Amino acid sequence: MSLTPSLEHCASLQVVSSLDALMNVITWFERLDWPLMDASLRIEAQTALIEGFTNVVQHAHGHLPVNTPIQIAAQVNGSMLQIMIWDQGQPYDFAAAMHQLSISPDQAFNPLTREQHWGQVLFLRLSRERGWRFMYDRLPDERNRLLMEKKLESEFD
């Protein structure tokens, strides 16, 4: 009997800090033919990935050279889907920003009325309505990691 969850599927990608690389990111993710991801979960995950990637390019790496790498990984570990994006930008208090948004009036949840940071609205809705969890941490190597994860539903749940 194993006490550690098995890593059933894992894939990674490195791209440059350019919105022109977004198609490569989408194509890479679409090629992950993991049977545990149904169509709904795949759309949610791809949407979160696109938002996370564009945030890195536009905000975290906005002041850095285009050749600054962005690393992306996706994995199914036990009963959890995880997508991770590493950037080299300045630290950002993602948890505080998400908390501030969570206590905002409901009209803040209309992305059309929030030109800036509407991606956080998306993350908050995925969290509240679809069971996703988002964390953004500063790592000892001075990179940041956005972790997006969702518990996979099984036929026994």
Does residue 121 form part of some domain? yes
Those residues with Cβ within 8 angstroms of residue 107's Cβ, 6 or more apart along the chain or in another chain: 113
Q: Is the pLDDT of residue 43 over 80?
A: yes
Contact status, residue 28 vs residue 59, Cβ threshold 8 Å: no
Please tell me the predicted confidence (pLDDT) of residue 130.
96
143: domain CATH number? 3.30.565.10
Q: Which two structure tokens, joined as six digits, stand for 145? A: 């990691």
Contact status, residue 42 vs residue 34, Cβ threshold 8 Å: no
What pLDDT, in 10s, does the model give residues 103-148? 876 645 565 665 566 788 899 999 999 999 999 999 999 999 999 9
Please tell me the predicted confidence (pLDDT) of residue 4.
45
Does residue 76 form part of some domain? yes
Q: Is the pLDDT of residue 37 over 70?
A: yes
Does residue 156 form part of some domain? no
Does residue 117 form part of some domain? yes
Please tell me the predicted confidence (pLDDT) of residue 81.
96
Does residue 157 form part of some domain? no
Does residue 2 form part of some domain? no
Does residue 1 form part of some domain? no
Q: With H, G, I as helix, E, B as strand and everything else as coil, classify residue 157.
A: coil
pTM of the model as a whole: 0.87
Total tally of structural domains belonging to the chain: 1
Does residue 122 form part of some domain? yes
Domain that includes residue 135, residue range: 7-151
Q: Is the pLDDT of residue 21 over 90?
A: yes
The alpha helices in the chain, defined as continuous H runs, are 22-30, 39-55, 94-102, 118-130
N-terminal to C-terminal alpha carbon distance within the chain: 22
